[in-house]
Amino acid sequence: MRELDTFGRILIPKEIRKELNINEGDKLHISCIDNTVILKKVDKNICDKCGEKSYTKQLNLCQECMEKLLI
Average pLDDT, the chain: 84
d(CA 20, CA 22): 6
Judged against a pLDDT cut of 70, whether residue 56 lies above it is answered with no
Give the three-state DSSP class for 1. coil
Backbone angles phi, psi at 8, to 5 degrees: 85, 15
Average confidence (pLDDT) over 12-29: 91
Q: Is residue 14 scored above 70 in pLDDT?
A: yes
Residue 15: band (very low, low, confident or very high) from pLDDT cuts 50, 70, 90 = very high
Q: Give bridge partners of residue 38 from the DSSP assignment.
A: 31
Residue 20, classed as helix, strand or coil, is coil
Q: Is the pLDDT of residue 28 over 90?
A: no
Q: What is the pTM of this model?
A: 0.58
Where in the chain does DSSP place strands (E)?
28-33, 36-41
Q: How far apart are CA 50 and CA 46, in angstroms?
A: 8
Question: Could you tell me the pLDDT band of residue 55, with boundaries at 50, 70 and 90?
Answer: low
